[in-house]
Structure 1
Amino acid sequence: MLLYGRNPVLEALRDGRVRDLLVARGVEQSFVRDLERFDVRLKFAPRIELDQLVGTTQHQGVVAEVEDLDWSNVDDILDRAEAKGEDLLVILLDGITDPRNFGAIIRSAEVLGAHGVVVEERRSPPLSAVVAKTAAGATSFLPVARVKNLPRFIDQLKEDGVWVYGAAGESAKDLRKLDFKRKLALVIGAEGEGLRRLVRDKCDELASIPMKGEVQSLNASVAASILIYHAVTSRD
């Protein structure tokens, strides 16, 4: 897999997953020195060669050939919460198919303190270079798992005492009125479509984000960030 962008490439280098490294001529020497700290041979090429290789100019002057990203196991997420001595906070994605939204949610989940992200196999993008670039290296630290059937997985979580809150619209309860001091799964649906009926019906509560502007909707990754931040800070 080709990975591009400075943060994702540096994290892959730290993980030892980089096979070859292509660097644009003319990048600042301080960045080159950062790359030279790792035991990987650097090949320099014109920037246009990198543009053509990855089909974008947003590579920040570095492209790496890396081992494919691996999906985690759901147990990795549960173990992460237990190891930290914290109540579980897992993010479930229902139909988030845009890789940039997916990557942005992974990044927010890792930065804000969630224990992992879970998607359904048929309704999610692969762990691609675009996802890794948007996640800015967070895929190296946060478990991201797939399940065959999200509604059935929700049932399993509830059997283990996990409460499930789904992000929904105006008819849902203001998120500030919900109890976040418990084991939780937050479910984020696709933009426009929202949560599927079966997933929605399995939620213990439906949470809405209070809005005061004229535009009554948020990007899925922004909504996820707000919910995760509120959940984490409500536990302090």
Structure 2
Amino acid sequence: MSDNPAYRKRKAFFDRLLTVYGRKPVLEVLQNSSLQCHALHLAESNREQGIIREIRELADQRGIEVKHHDRQALSRISRNGRQDQGVALDVICPAFRQASEALPELPPKARLLALDGISNPQNLGMIIRSAAAGDIDGILYASRGNAALGPLVIKASAGTLYRAPLLLCDSLPEILAECRQQGMEVCTLAAQAPESLFEYRPNSGCVYVLGNETEGVSGPVQARATRSLSIPMRNGVESLNVAVTASLIAYAGQMG
């Protein structure tokens, strides 16, 4: 079944869908004509007035399919029944792909960010914004362990999430193993590492790992690393916020 061309095409399409939930976030997407939407999902219990009416009218104007569900079914679609407010919207994100399918097609010296347990939605959103703006070809994102791609992430990314090159995977250690098989370096950051991020010039593709805000890089991911880099710091500062670190990585490749 997985080798069937029609199945692969359908799966690739749904991999690019991001389901946004909540009345205000959905309204903001519908008001942005540059964003392509697949389907609007509404709870049957919604009253057809106020913002719900506005959402429905915008969907109709844009020719977006509207589907009605009971509350339980809508909760399964939004994956957040407590906060979806009876509304969910499938947004097409053209740069979202399965990591294993994208890796062979990356440039020879691709620069990737790997997210290893980024639990704070604001940090995740700011990381995505920096990566989208800077010299990053893809963001390795595992749904397990990282913050969900919800309204807080979208807001912190200033909407760049919809255009960001997210490479989706189930297990970060497994996809890092694939990166190494393709000759890519896997770099973690450590204060005591002798080589500076800003001096390092890889001869091949490179993955820069961003660890959890409190625990840092996990053991299984650390085991896949091939190199350790440092960010020079002064005045007794020991570490930087992970989103700030992502910004430095995103632009380090353009220096020198």
Same-fold call, TM > 0.5? yes
Look up the match of 2:120. Answer: 98
Decide whether aligned partners of structure 1 residues 215 and 69 sit closer, same or farther in structure 2, where only a CA change above 3 A counts: farther
Q: What's the CA shift for 1:155? A: 1.1
Residues 78 and 115 of structure 1 are in contact (CA less than 8 Å); yes or no, is this contact kept in structure 2? no
CA separation of 1:11 and 1:81: change in aligned 2, threshold 3 A:
farther
- d(CA) in 2 for partners of 1:77 and 1:143? 10
Find the counterpart in structure 2 of residue 16 from structure 1: 36
Provide the rounded CA distance (Å) in 2 between the counterparts of 1:16 and 1:153: 29
Aligned to 1:73: 98
Counterpart selection for 2:143 from 90, 98, 121: 121
- Segments of 5+ residues of structure 2 without an aligned counterpart are 1-20, 43-49, 52-57, 64-82
What is the percent sequence identity of the aligned residues? 24
CA contact (8 A) 1:77 1:143 kept: no
2:36–2:92 Cα contact (<8 Å) kept: no
Deviation readout 1:123-168 (Å, 9 max, x if unpaired): 1122111111111121222221332221121111111111111122
Distance 1:90 1:157, change over 3 A: same
Write out per-residue CA displacement over residues 59-86 of structure 1, whole angstroms, 9 at most, x where no aligned residue: xxxxx9632576531156447744xxx6
Q: Of 160, 163, 168, which aligns to 1:141?
A: 163
SS of the aligned residue for 1:123 comes to coil
Closer, same or farther: CA 181–146 of 1 in aligned 2, 3 Å: same
The CA deviation string for residues 48-67 of structure 1, in whole angstroms up to 9 with x for no partner, is: xxxxxx89xxxxxxxx9632
Q: Any conservation in 2 of the 1:80–1:115 contact (CA below 8 Å)?
A: no
Number of the residue aligned with 1:26: none
Ranges in structure 1 where 5+ consecutive residues have no aligned partner: 23-35, 42-53, 56-63
Number of residue pairs the alignment of both structures matches = 198
Structure 1 distance, partners of 2:210, 2:122, is: 15
Query: How far is the alpha carbon of 1:205 from its aligned partner?
Result: 0.9
Q: 1:216 aligns with which of 224, 238, 252?
A: 238
Q: Take 1:109 and 1:134, find their aligned partners in 2: how far apart are those partners?
A: 13
Look up the equivalent residue of 2:132 and give its one-letter code.
E
Residue identity in the other structure for 1:119 = Y
Closer, same or farther: CA 212–220 of 1 in aligned 2, 3 Å? same
Tell me how far apart the structure 2 counterparts of residues 169 and 175 of structure 1 sit (CA, whole Å).
Answer: 11
Q: What residue identity is the alignment partner of 1:144? A: L
Q: Aligned-pair distance for 1:223?
A: 0.7
- SS of 2:140's equivalent in the other structure is strand
1:104 deviates by 0.7
Change (3 A) 1:78 1:10: farther
Q: Which residue number corresponds to residue 47 of structure 2?
A: none
Report the Cα offset of residue 40 of structure 1: 5.5
For residue 87 of structure 1, what is the aligned residue in structure 2? 109
- 174-183 or 156-165, which deviates more: 174-183
2:34 match: secondary structure = helix
**Aligned residue among 150, 154, 158 for 2:172:** 150
Does the CA-based 8 Å contact 1:3-1:9 persist in structure 2? Answer: no
Q: 1:121 to 1:134 in 2, by over 3 A?
A: same
**Distance in 2 separating the partners of 1:68 and 1:173:** 41
TM-score norm. by structure 2 comes to 0.64
| Structure whose residues are more often helix by fraction | 1
Kindly provide the amino acid, as one letter, of the partner of residue 135 in structure 2: G
- The answer to whether the 8 A contact 1:105-1:135 is kept is yes
